[in-house]
Amino acid sequence: MRKRLSHIWRGFRELFSTETLETTVESGKAVLEGAKTLQEQGKNLELLKPLVEQSSSLLEVLCSPTVQVVGAGLPFVPIAIAILRLYRHITRKEPILEECVTLLSQAAYLESFKEIISLPDNQSILAHWNSKPHTEAVRKQLQKLGDFELDAKATRRAIVSFPNSELAQEYNQVLSARLQQAGLGEDEARTFAERVAFNSEPHFIKALSQAGESVKQLAELYRNGGLEALKKYDSIDQYLEEQIAPKPDEPVFNETFSFRDIYVPLKARNVDKNGDMDDKPAPCDLETWAKNILLDQDANKKRQVIFIQGGPGRGKSVFCRMFADWVRQYLHPMWTPILIRLRDIDEFQPSLEETLRSRVKYDFAQSDDGWLTDAHKRFLFILDGFDELRIERSSNQSVERFLRQIGTFQFDYNGKHRVLITGRAMALHGIDRLPANLERVEIAEMNAKLQNQWFTNWRKHFDTDKSTAFQQFLQDNDRCPKQVQELAKEPLLLYMLAAMHRDDKLDISKFEQASGTAAKILAYEQALDWVLTKQRSDDRHPDLNYELTKQNPEALRRLLAEAAVCVVQSGGESASMQMVKARLQQDDEARQLIERAEKGLGEEALKTALSAFYLKSNSSGGVEFFHKSFGEFLCAERLKDSLVEWTEPGRRGKTFNIDDKQLYEQIYDLLGYGALTQEIVEYLMGLLIGDGQDAHPTSSNKFQPVQLFQRLEDFYQRWCDGEFIDSTEETLPQRKARELQKQGIKLGQRQVDIYAGLNVMILLLELHRYAQERDDLKDKIAFYPCGQKDSEGFDETRLLRIIGYSYCINVEKFSVTVGQFLSKANLSGANLFGSNLNSSNFSGADLSDANLFGSNLNSSNFSAANLSSANLFGSNLNSSNFSGANLSSANLFGSNLNSSNFSGANLSSANLFGSNLNSSNFSGANLRDADLRGADLRDVDLRGADLRGANLSNELFGDIRWDENTKWEDVKGLQTAINVPKPLRQKLGLE
């Protein structure tokens, strides 16, 4: 049975009068007056008579000045319940469900409106509302509301999910029209009204529950469910209060100010399918972009996974905490933010739903299996730190599988929930199939305008003149080294530079000759010296660090470095105190540091010493670095110390201070835990090279690359022969695996052995690349993973066996671990038949005569590489970069070269027979005498290419294929090409 809302309200009016009353705009005032009387003189039902007689609905209150609504604190829900009781008292019958829902939903909506309009951030709306009376547009919406017909289905929908019901949409249109009349834009008004509707839900449930005493239908309906629903809303509110609201106000490191105090909105640029930033359009405001994509009503946008990438220190995690709180304040309960640090996920469940639930330790998720299908709730899952996933610690999981789960989740829920992920760009390296619904942006560097905003916040806490002088220095191209200016574009490093300058601990002169990674290393080194010596010192406590820790700066640095190794080997940003202590107990010097500290501070000495700096305690009793970069830098510094120690001259005739047995033990200890990251390797090589340049020629601590290379290469050869894993006694991999498993790190001896070998291989590749750029070293250091071609020790399948060995972990382990470090590698003649090397970096590498038959080299970088006479038959080279590469006489028969870049490449005499070259770029390429029979050249860019002598067709294998998008401008040598198809001759005017 359908009933108009105007007819339902008329039934309540007729309780008091049989006269037909005209609806007027002034009737809203009667509601206000009746409510005031009800508050002042009690719940006498007779006092409701003038209220009902002079109104067309409770929502006519929206026509009145909001100051009256807010100021009076009107009890709309009690008013509605009182009317229901009056109805029952006079008519001696139960109101039907449609009547109850109409009255109580309007009361709940007004309660929600009163609550939200009263917030401090909405005072400007309040002022405009009171200064501008309603218009004809509002009157029309009220009339439309009165004509709305409520049936049983719409009634049930309102009860089950009020914010998504037709009834709520009708209320929203009335409120939206009034808000627009008060000065809000259409989109702002719609969002505000939708928020009121979502916020009405708990008020509506409460009203239905309270009205149950008067209405038997409601009593039955909510006797077994109303309380549970209210508990869930309370649980969500508790989560937001405890886990989201405090995040912006947490202190920055151990400072006295919070993230909110110095935060500035960041800029971002779109990222293309290859992961590169689009530099053409101006960067957009990151927060605005995220807000717009969240509120976009387009069906396709609702299915997009939001991925925000950025390098270390770019502000990803701070953005997450700030954006989550913004959503809490301005969009909840329309959207409820859930913030999860991905490094906190220790074990991954079979489905993303279960994994998410495992990290939300609140009743609304834990006690309800259907929390994600609940029509009342929409969640924004903010997953911070995709590069910090500890997937390798879980069984049969991979980064790609987890990302596909996210993509499928977003697609299946079709915008009901949204997922926003942050991570370093390298987090997606090696993932062959990214979800099609991934919307990517990258955080841009801070420009001068953002730096100005940042310093404005900074000056609120520290000396204005000094801070301004430093700001002006950073932006002075004549005085400030370029390297320092580059560092200041990263939020984390800007803070460090400003804090060190504040404390007079920043030595700018050291940066003048530094570049790139070296400049960043200088910043970290000065920052560490700053926190270890002066950060907490003052006139009263000139050596406060020692008072806190009972350790001198050198000892503290050693403790921090060992803790960093533990954190990195744990696979995230935290490590247990047991692991840190166990590691320190292995070293006599470190053990003495602990014992000395415990005498002064007791059993908690180690935790006290570590937590005084860039570490903090976590809920599991361990320690973690405030920022991942600190742990990576300190781990690299610890590795550097060992690598230098391995080449120190020995005593009493020994060649080295560390003998072979000790060397092998330390390699497994330091490198047998997982893959070295690109950041750690960059820091490590920068530290080693800097150590070699700065040390005195007679110093025993000088970096000796030749000796280091020789010792590591000896290990590599032995490892390739299986010497360490095949021992019949206790093996070094087994010993390290036991140590890790005691700390809950689930790696077996096979994984430990693989990682140790691959990481040593990375170091050898780095030493090789460094040496080849120096005339004094290039003849002394040359790494051949398979041995030098045509030499006695050459083994063409050695690398193939290593890749196959790494398959024991997963099929992409070699490409993900070593692939990014293969630039300028010597792989001439190597047999890599059928290997998985996708997304690898072979730039400048020598792959001449290499056998890559049927290999997966998707999205790899071969720029300036030598692939002459290489066999790439049937390989997958989709989206790869061959710009400037030498592919002369290479066999690319039947290969997939779709969307690849061959600009400026030499493909003379190459066999491209039957290859898929669709959408590739051959501009300026040398294709002389190349075999292109049957090749797919649709959408291919051939501008400026040289096709002299190239074979484009024959009767047996057919013509090349092209279309209107194939670019032929300035192509050279088509007149001398073989078998140019007649249609092509006609098209290009060659006939």
pLDDT tens-digit readout, 635-645: 999 999 999 99
Structure tokens given for 822 = 């293969």
Residue with tokens 């005017």: 989
Which amino acid, one-letter code, is at 102?
Answer: T
Contacts of residue 722, defined as CB under 8 A and 6 or more positions apart, other chains included, come to none
CB 100 within 8 A of CB 62: no
pLDDT tens for each residue of 608-631: 555 545 455 555 556 677 667 778
CB 34 within 8 A of CB 50: yes
CA distance 550 to 606: 10
- C-beta of residue 469 within 8 angstroms of C-beta of residue 426: no
Lookup: tokens for 706 = 């030749």
The string of DSSP letters for 284-336 reads EEHHHHHHHHHH---HHHHTPEEEEE--TTSSHHHHHHHHHHHHHHHTTTTSE
- Taking alpha carbons only, the member of 873, 871, 879, 924 closest to residue 897 is 879
329 burial via Cβ count (<10 Å: 0-12, 13-18, 19+):
middle
**SS3 track for 350-419:** CCHHHHHHHHCCCHHHHCCCCCCCCCCCCEEEEEECHHHCCHHHCCCCCHHHHHHHHHHHHHHHCCCCEE
pLDDT of residue 299: 79
Kindly report each contact of residues 54-57 with a partner whose C-beta sits within 8 Å and lies 24 or more positions away, as own/partner: 54/21, 54/24, 54/26, 54/27, 54/30, 55/9, 55/13, 55/27, 55/28, 55/30, 55/31, 56/6, 56/9, 56/23, 56/27, 56/142, 56/146, 57/5, 57/6, 57/9, 57/106, 57/142, 57/145, 57/146
Q: Quickly count: other Cβ atoms within 10 Å of residue 693's Cβ.
A: 11
Contact criterion met (CB below 8 Å) for 926 and 955 = no
8-state DSSP, 243: I
Preceding peptide of 333 cis, ω within 30°: yes
Crossing angle of helices 166-181 and 136-147, in 10° steps, is 170
Q: Which of 327, 330, 311, 329 is nearest to 266 (CA)?
A: 311
Separation of alpha carbons 747 and 763, rounded Å: 22
Q: Are 721 and 787 in contact (CB under 8 A)?
A: no
Task: Quote the Cα angle for 730-732-734, to 5°.
Answer: 65
According to DSSP H, which parts of 744-809 are helical? 749-771, 798-806
3-class SS of residue 347: coil
Q: How far is CA 586 from CA 248, 628, 646, 731, in A?
A: 40, 25, 18, 18
Phi, psi angle pair for 669, to nearest 5°: -65, -45
| DSSP-based three-state secondary structure for 176 | helix
Q: Which amino acid is at 373?
A: T
Copy the structure tokens of residue 49: 């008579």
3-state secondary structure of 203: helix
Burial class (CB in 10 A: 0-12, 13-18, 19+), 897: buried
pLDDT at 695: 38
pLDDT under 50: residue ranges of the chain:
18-26, 37-38, 40-45, 47, 391-397, 535-542, 544-545, 548, 601-603, 612, 614, 694-700
Say how many CA atoms lie within 13 Å of 60 toward its Cβ. 23
Q: What is the longest distance spanned by two Cα atoms in the chain?
A: 117
Distance CA 892, CA 385 (A): 39
What are the percentages of helix, strand and coil residues in the chain, rounded to 5? 50, 10, 40
Residue entry with tokens 């609940």: 374
Distance between CA atoms of residues 218 and 121, nearest Å? 36
This prediction has a pTM of 0.67
